[in-house]
């Protein structure tokens, strides 16, 4: 595999694990304010991110190139509201989409068709990854992020399946 592509895919494992860390930190904040449904939603999201990281981990190994795990930065720990958290989630997912698009461009540049096809899954997945926080954010804006409607939304998010 081309060295630059190998290194970029390897780095994306760290980026996906950072996403898991970020969502787990958000889950922790929701736990601290007794919004257990939101916390559950974030914990399920963190697991999804681990799966994304493992997909790349397995792909690199299948291609016979070594995975070198990198340090994961500390995520933010202080948040002010559910609305702020979902704004940050959406912003984060947009950044991840840009990363995936760059990886795709690189796979085209170096003519690595197996990587290009592998990345199709991630391109499709990012549509969902942006849609989910965006929908929740719309609801949070509509209910002004407080009151009985917030508790109702918390109950709704508790139903997310892993």
The Cα 82–Cα 153 span in angstroms is 11
Nearer to ligand FEO, 93 or 154 (CB): 93
Give least dist CB 17 to ligand FEO, A.
10
Residue number of the CB closest to ligand FEO reads: 52
Interface positions with ligand FEO (CB under 6 A): 16, 19, 49, 52, 93, 96, 129
Nearer to ligand FEO, 96 or 119 (CB): 96
The Cα 131–Cα 124 span in angstroms is 11
The Cα 9–Cα 44 span in angstroms is 24
In sequence order, which ranges of the chain are alpha helices (DSSP H)?
Answer: 3-32, 36-62, 82-109, 113-142, 147-157
> Would you say 23 and 49 are in contact if contact means Cβ atoms under 8 Å apart?
yes
Give least dist CB 49 to ligand FEO, A.
5
Nearer to ligand FEO, 89 or 150 (CB): 89
Give least dist CB 16 to ligand FEO, A.
5
């Amino acid at each position: 595999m081309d060295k630059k592509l190998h290194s970029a895919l390897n780095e994306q494992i760290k980026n996906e694990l950072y996403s898991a860390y970020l969502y787990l930190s958000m889950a922790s904040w929701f736990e601290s304010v007794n919004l257990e449904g939101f916390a559950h939603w974030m914990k399920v999201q963190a697991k999804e991110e681990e799966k994304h990281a493992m997909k790349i981990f397995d792909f690199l190994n299948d291609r016979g190139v070594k995975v070198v795990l990198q340090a994961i930065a500390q995520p933010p720990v202080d948040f002010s509201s559910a609305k702020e958290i979902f704004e940050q989630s959406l912003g984060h997912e947009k950044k991840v989409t840009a990363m995936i698009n760059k990886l795709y461009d690189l796979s085209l540049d170096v003519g690595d068709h197996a990587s290009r096809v592998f990345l199709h899954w991630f391109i499709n997945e990012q549509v969902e990854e942006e849609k989910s926080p965006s929908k929740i954010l719309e609801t949070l804006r509509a209910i002004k992020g407080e009151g009985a409607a917030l508790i109702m939304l918390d109950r709704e998010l508790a139903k997310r399946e892993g």
